Structure 1
Amino acid sequence: MPLPGESYFPALPPSPKPYISLGLPFSVTCAHHAAHTFSASRIYLIVSPSIAKTPAFTTLLTALDNDKILGIRYGIRQHVPWPDVIEVAADLDRLSADLIVTLGAGSITDGAKVASYAAANKAFSLDALDKLHIRSVDETEKKAVAIPTINIPTSLSGGEYNGSGGATDLRSGIKYSFKHPSIGAQLVILDPALTVSTPERVWLSSGMRAVDHCVEGLTSVGFRDGGNEEVEGFCVGGLRLLLPGLLKTKAHPEDLEARRREMLGVVEALKGLTSGVLPMGASHGIGHQLGPLGVGHGETSCVMLASVLRWNLRNATGGWVEERQRRVSEVFWEDATVAEALEERGLSRKTASAGDVVEAYVAALGLPTSLKEVGIGKDKLEGLARNSMTDRCIPTNPVAIENEGKVLEILELALGE
């Protein structure tokens, strides 16, 4: 039951989860739904270490019944190392938790998803966890997640809305996906005011991750044999909210309406991504494997998306790839604020490619546009190409990537030397 003044609605209909709560302070709605929607009495909190030092965390603790908080985990390392997952899963099992609440984003969100799945399947060792990811050959029936989750995100990464989570096996350096219909939050609480303290680079780069969802969606193989107007509308709608919003946030960080629109833009992007007809491509595939090399989640999109678009355009054998990239460019240019930013970087609507447009937009946000800028040199490219070939998004790139050599071609374009 929603509170007066609370907007409470399904994020991805007809999917029954997650619901979105918007319009009231996050602590108020979290306390209400913990008590009345989930009847929780054994709450486990996972909080970003930086947010744990802020008044926001104190506010949440005050709102929740302290007697019901049985455990607090301060942070999950970037890109969700398997040992962190196992520690959280063991805590959930030991404490018999009946609700997980996360305050933060990125690794916090994915860590909660994978850990709750691991706990349901009693996967408390590396070998046991190795049997749960989507590339595992183990065919044992997997048990559904039993503990509900409330996510309170502080970035635009969007992991709250999909039924999979990524975690990194430190033994190989490969980031694996864990997927099951039961994985994911039941409730996502959006509070633009909470995000004002999020570091600018984190907020903007996570927004670029959402932009990447939309762009790789619009250029996906899902459009090779014809259009899907509803799904295209989700991706276009997401870009129309995100692109001007991110520029406004950079100029005016306390513009809460811009932040609210960006948050809803992420939801539109995820409607397209979770439609089942828009598989992602090499920007996501390579990006997943850049993470274990120390590149931030959203920054992988900043440094890879433009080069993937350029490589796809150069190597396409059908006109549909060019047509889809032209559609992406149209959406960027249609907004006056975005168009002005592109023109300030010397681009022309008539001659700029989608790759040019994306790179210029990233630069306008003050974010890195090359691998070199995020500390990835030539010495890392062969290993990165090899690991990328294991990723689920490489086979669905709109232009076939048959071997590591093709990935290396993309990486050379992105290197920035």
Structure 2
Amino acid sequence: MTLVEEEHFLALDPKPWVSLGVPFAEACAHHASLTFRAKRVYLIISSSISKTPALRSLKAALGDNIVGIRYRIRQHVPWPDVLEVAVELRDLDADLIVTLGAGSLTDAAKVASFAVVKGAFSLDALDKIHIRNADPSKLKPCTIPIINIPTSLSGGEYNPPGGATDLRNSRKTSFNHGSMGAQLVILDPELTVSTPERVWLSSGMRAVDHCIEGLCSVAFRDGDTAGSGKVDRHLLKGLRLLLRSLLTTKHNPGDLEARKREMGVIEAMRGLTRGVPMGASHGIGHQLGPLGVGHGETSCVMLPSVLRWNLKNQGEGEKWVRERLLKVLDAFWEDATKLGGLSREALSAGDVVAAFFGELELPGSLTEDKLEALAKNSMTDRCIPTNPVAITEEAQILEILEMALTAG
């Protein structure tokens, strides 16, 4: 049952559904009660949101159905944070999780709900259920539904996998089961106006990274084997919506119509759900985060150098890589001309992406910190084997990192 004036549509098959057009607190209370029949709601709230009227609105709307509130999940979702949430979900017998905030909360809800159904309430137990160690045949589906109310653009609300960091080795690991993730995502552009500019823009660049690494994915190595026409349409549409939204909201943060272009995130995820793996920007970025770089900013730091490295190192059998990079360059060009002083003929995809970051005043270079450990951890990441130009040794990762040290 939908509300008057509510847009309610399926983002991906089989989930999540999206609610748009109604204030977030009203939509959440409506669906918590009538869609999920929830009586024991557990909230996960970002630290910044907890200090705003948004939390008061949500608490007033849900009332006595709230049984617990978790304030703040640290960036990159440390395992101890996940375990604390999982224990509370179990002890409070929660029947619905609602997150209000950015991407770390989304991942925490996914992984904690998965830990509950697996009975994983210790570090050692959690270590047995991530994708490198889990036996897929023994994985049970999650049972606690999730509503995400995002305030950023990273897009993790729309797919099952969740990432969390083992602080014992500073390694970010992935947890995945088709049942993980939100059943409902509530979008409210007005809510996102209070998101700090750097978080909004950098998380948007994470979504842009999804589009770009998707467009350059090894899924297209052999031509149209991944239904590339449909995938390209989704990824290119998402990319263009995001570029326009980011440029506009950078200079006019209160433009709600521009913020509605967060629909570009959904288009990106529609492209990626068709078997399109990511590459080294995601692979290195996953491991860079635990070293203190914000989730979205990992894309700002790594993506231009990865694109430049891929172009420089494509082999004789990898000429398709250049063709895909030119597709990215063409997609950017309409907006890149606004950046001043650029020549289309002199640019590579890495150059234009770096220039776009500069226009948004986002960080574009890496600091020299634990590069060898970063390279070692990156080699264990699931996205490194699917980089469009083959990466087989740590020295290649170090070469990319050296490029990022002097980028900007």
What does the per-residue CA deviation read over 1:14-43, in whole Å, with 9 as the maximum and x for residues that have no partner? Answer: x12100000110011001000000000000
Partners of 1:8 and 1:20 within 8 A in 2: yes
Aligned to 1:233: 233
Partners of 2:283 and 2:383 within 8 A in 1: yes
- Does the alignment pair 1:146 with 2:146? no
What does the per-residue CA deviation read over 1:227-264, in whole Å, with 9 as the maximum and x for residues that have no partner? Answer: 31000101100011011110000000000000001x10
Q: Secondary structure at the match of 1:71?
A: strand
Aligned to 1:370: 365
Aligned to 1:281: 279
Aligned to 2:10: 10
What's the CA shift for 1:140?
A: 6.8
Q: Secondary structure at the match of 1:135?
A: coil
Aligned residues: 402
Match runs of 1:321-336 below 5 Å: 321-333=321-333, 335=334
Aligned to 1:355: 350
Partners of 2:101 and 2:149 within 8 A in 1: yes
What's the CA shift for 1:138?
A: 5.2
What's the CA shift for 1:416?
A: 1.8
What's the CA shift for 1:225?
A: 1.0
Partners of 2:336 and 2:355 within 8 A in 1: no
Partners of 1:79 and 1:168 within 8 A in 2: yes
What's the CA shift for 1:340?
A: 3.1
Aligned to 2:168: 171
Aligned to 2:386: 396
Partners of 1:364 and 1:249 in 2: CA distance: 12
Aligned to 2:186: 189
Partners of 2:139 and 2:211 in 1: CA distance: 31
Match runs of 1:331-342 below 5 Å: 331-333=331-333, 335=334, 338-342=335-339
What does the per-residue CA deviation read over 1:328-381, in whole Å, with 9 as the maximum and x for residues that have no partner? Answer: 011111x3xx13333x1x321122000100000011000011013xxxx1x411
Partners of 1:84 and 1:19 in 2: CA distance: 27
What does the per-residue CA deviation read over 1:150-187, in whole Å, with 9 as the maximum and x for residues that have no partner? Answer: 00000001110111100001111100000001100000
Q: 1:73 to 1:353 in 2, by over 3 A?
A: same
- Does the alignment pair 1:411 with 2:401? yes
TM-score, reference length from structure 1: 0.95
Letter in 1 for 2:184: L
In percent, how many aligned pairs have the same letter?
A: 67
What does the per-residue CA deviation read over 1:258-285, in whole Å, with 9 as the maximum and x for residues that have no partner? Answer: 0001x10000011111211x11000000
Partners of 1:139 and 1:321 in 2: CA distance: 33
Partners of 1:163 and 1:183 within 8 A in 2: yes
Partners of 1:123 and 1:361 in 2: CA distance: 43
TM-score, reference length from structure 2: 0.97
Partners of 1:144 and 1:10 in 2: CA distance: 21
Q: Secondary structure at the match of 2:364?
A: coil
Partners of 1:139 and 1:3 in 2: CA distance: 39
Aligned to 2:266: 267
Quote the RMSD (CA, aligned, Å): 1.0
Q: 1:101 to 1:118 in 2, by over 3 A?
A: same
Partners of 1:32 and 1:76 in 2: CA distance: 26
Partners of 2:135 and 2:19 in 1: CA distance: 38
Q: Secondary structure at the match of 2:345?
A: coil
Letter in 2 for 1:331: A
Q: Secondary structure at the match of 2:254?
A: coil
What's the CA shift for 1:69?
A: 0.5
Q: 1:139 to 1:214 in 2, by over 3 A?
A: closer
Partners of 1:341 and 1:364 within 8 A in 2: no
Q: Secondary structure at the match of 1:172?
A: coil
Partners of 1:221 and 1:5 in 2: CA distance: 42
Aligned to 1:61: 59
